[in-house]
Amino acid sequence: MRTGICHCTDCRQESGSAFTFYGVWPIDRFESTGATSEYRGQAFCPRCGSRLFSVDDREAEIKLGILSPAPTPFVPSYELWVKRREPWLRPIAGAEQHEENRI
């Protein structure tokens, strides 16, 4: 598992915020219960519209802002697309910084 935040345009628009906070789990360690709907590969709650997760054949990416209660114990170990980070946001101490995607 890894935890990160992304400042890319897609993540900003999807979250309606300055970044998206997410965790990635191996697909064999991920299980989802309850009703979901899907749009462009993103699962969301059909009742309230909250973005929940996306999956591929290897990993599940979960939007950590959906977890309650807040705050969560997760701390990002990396930041993506820092060239698009708002200037008033500071880098997360100890987190890897990537100008764009992880290599």
Q: Tell me the pLDDT of the chain (103 aa) as tens digits.
A: 899 999 999 999 988 999 999 999 999 999 999 999 999 889 999 999 999 999 999 999 999 988 888 898 999 999 999 999 999 999 999 999 999 998 7
CA angle 29, 64, 4 (to 5 degrees): 85
Could you tell me the pTM of the whole model?
A: 0.87
Domains, the chain, in order of start with CATH, read 2-97 (3.90.1590.10)
